Amino acid sequence: MRVFLYSLAGIPLLLADGVLLYALAPRIAGWFVPLEGLVLLGGALAYAAVRLLLRKPERMYLWAHELTHLAVAKLFLREVHGFHITSRSGGKVVIDRTNVAIDLAPYAVPLYNVLVLVPAALFRGRNPYVGNAYLGVASFLFAMHLHFSAEGFFDGQPDVRRSGRVFSAAVVLLVLMAWIPCLGAPVARGGFRGLPAFYRGWAGEGVELARALLARGLALL
């Protein structure tokens, strides 16, 4: 019953995700000049090359995944009974009880991107090469995060199954979209100070698009 109810709640949230993604894409694209776009593409392709030609960086991802579980569990004052990562069984954090936030945090928080965001923000504008270097690394790490997160959904990880794949996907997609402007802020013209205006404009456009779609749908009835 829990999964069914969560899935029902996830359907309108997924529709909202689609509207917000439609509104987000051109806004983000407008942030970057063609060279920066090529750097972003290069970072994603570099990850694809590592994945296909060398090896899947699974252990690297597992550390971020389980550490995120651990950090969010601590935020909710959960008692942690164990933390381990092995090459055979993967990673595991043993806690007294879980919730939706603890389950989905590793998919919704690109931890490595957050870590490289800090030095990029500190050195923003001090060196002309910092911005492009950050974009390449961030694109590589975000592609890795998306790849392993998608694998978790397709494989039906317990974290995802507890609340249903529909609801989990809707929440994760929404949070990841919200991260993208923050991750792009070090190279954006407005920087971090421009984020509040960006989010307001993005949300406003999303509401207008939703109203227009709803009006068209009602007109067809």
Q: Is the pLDDT of residue 81 over 90?
A: no
Indicate if the alpha-carbon torsion angle 81, 175, 147, 39 is positive or negative: negative
DSSP string, 113-128: HHHHHHHHHHTTTT-T
**pLDDT of 130:** 84
Q: In which band, very low, low, confident or very high, does the pLDDT at 88 lie, cut at 50, 70 and 90?
A: low
- Greater confidence, 89 or 74? 74
Cα–Cα distance for residue pair 120/130, rounded to 1 Å: 7
Region 181-191: what's the mean pLDDT?
A: 88
**pLDDT of 14:** 93
Q: Which of 90, 94, 63, 64 is nearest to 79 (CA)?
A: 94
Q: What does the domain layout of the chain look like in residue ranges?
A: 2-213
Q: In which band, very low, low, confident or very high, does the pLDDT at 107 lie, cut at 50, 70 and 90?
A: very high
- Greater confidence, 89 or 83? 83
**pLDDT of 8:** 86
Q: Which two tokens stand for residue 122?
A: 């500190």
Residue 92: what are its φ and ψ, rounded to 5°? -160, 135
**pLDDT of 86:** 67
Region 32-60: what's the mean pLDDT?
A: 89
**pLDDT of 83:** 77
Cα–Cα distance for residue pair 178/175, rounded to 1 Å: 5
**pLDDT of 143:** 96
**pLDDT of 104:** 94
Contact partners, residue 154, CB within 8 Å, separation at least 6: none
pLDDT digits over 128-154, tens only? 788 889 999 999 999 999 999 999 898
